[in-house]
Chain A
């Protein structure tokens, strides 16, 4: 990718730490996410990956510095896809209503915004949900809900995409949709910060991968870093044998 068409920011973590309720979740995180790259964060459950990306969103009381270097004159659009949607299945809103709640200024009970109605149809089509736009959210499967969450991240067109295990509930068709979206993000020069458990997908789609278990255990190209030994150490209870990230 040429540097000219990059719209996403570079992200720099400098000595970032996080303590919640007296427990250290993260400490000494020094990382750099290149502008326009797909940067995956992998590691065991409870390792602090989700906390780290929520710190990027300004939702955590972190220590240290997280800096976004945007290529333009103003900060761009940040899209976030959460790990799962805490959702009352009895809530009487449709897929389109859900997008309206998240994406438009006009109150959702007044219906979809005229300016965005076509965009809703378009993004739902991109995630293969065009025929379900009037279905109740409570009637969707877990994979379909995940697709809707991906769809909402496309309005407005993002420059930085923060993904928290977006593939967890996706079926094969959903995974294919996700791969196409990732290719689109890369094509548009977005920066993607991506927490993922599916290491095969990380190796396939990410430009760089960091192993996080309360601290950075490795950081590099997926082809080199995702070796069997590395992963055994990453997911071990006692990762002391790991060399710290350079």
Chain B
């Protein structure tokens, strides 16, 4: 003969099992996260480079974004566009609007280089808001250089000369810190 006592159903055992299940899931998550943790890849910047997300003032960030867009338009044009033409088209940052003023009221000038590249130099009216920016377009690609204050670039503003003169190339990098 075997005696069997009917155990009441109730929350005690269910709570215990739910708690155990939650604990197991939590432990598994901790172990997984610990074992699979990877150091995010950080792209080290060269000494002559500055990160567009962390190294620029808000005004410089706005100008930089506008210059990248403008570079595509300028590169697509059959001839090198003058600053006045670009301003007439309403293309920022060359057009003199409220944003232009808020971002330091840069005086823009443009010229062609010896190897077919185009240069656009923006010198700030208010250096406290943004530094001097130089857009260099070569091979359909625009590269932006920055130096604080109201300055002039070297006579032959190639990358080495700019770096040697203390200019910083503005770059952007996508890494684990980019959340959007």
Chain A residues proximal to chain B, CB less than 8 Å: 9, 55-63, 65-75
Contacts and interface: CB of A to CB of B under 8 A. Distances in A.
A75 B7 CA distance: 14
B1 A67 contact: no
10 contacts: A60-B9, A61-B9, A62-B6, A67-B3, A68-B4, A68-B5, A69-B1, A69-B2, A69-B4, A74-B2
Given A56-B6, A61-B10, A62-B8, 6 more contacts: A55-B8, A60-B8, A60-B9, A65-B5, A69-B4, A71-B1
Nearest to B10: A61
A126 B4 CA distance: 31
Interface in B104-153: none
B6 A66 contact: yes
Interface residues of B, number: 11
A-B complex: 5 closest residue pairs judged by Cβ atoms: A66-B6, A61-B10, A68-B4, A61-B8, A70-B2
Contacts of A72: 1-2
A75 B6 contact: no
A75 B2 contact: yes
B1 A59 contact: no
B13 to A, nearest CB: 11
Contacts of B3: 67-70
B17 to A, nearest CB: 15
Contacts of A55: 6, 8
Contacts of B8: 55, 58, 60-63
A66 B5 contact: yes
What is the interface of chain B mostly: helix, strand, loop, or mixed?
loop
Contacts of A9: 4
Nearest to A13: B6
Interface string B1-36: 111111111110000000000000000000000000
Contacts of A65: 5
A67 B2 contact: no
B1 to A, nearest CB: 6
Contacts of A62: 6, 8
Contacts of A73: 2
A63 B8 CA distance: 7
Nearest to B4: A68
Contact of A68 (B6, B10, B11): B6
A57 B9 CA distance: 9
A69 B1 CA distance: 7
B84 to A, nearest CB: 75
A54 to B, nearest CB: 9
Contacts of A69: 1-4
Contacts of A70: 1-4
Interface string B46-82: 0000000000000000000000000000000000000
A15 to B, nearest CB: 13
A65 B22 CA distance: 32
Count chain A CB atoms within 10 A of each CB in B1, B2, B6 and give the residue with the most.
B6
A55 B5 CA distance: 11
A72 B11 CA distance: 32
B9 A59 contact: yes
B4 A75 contact: yes
Contact of A58 (B1, B2, B6, B11): B6
A118 B59 CA distance: 83
A71 B1 CA distance: 5
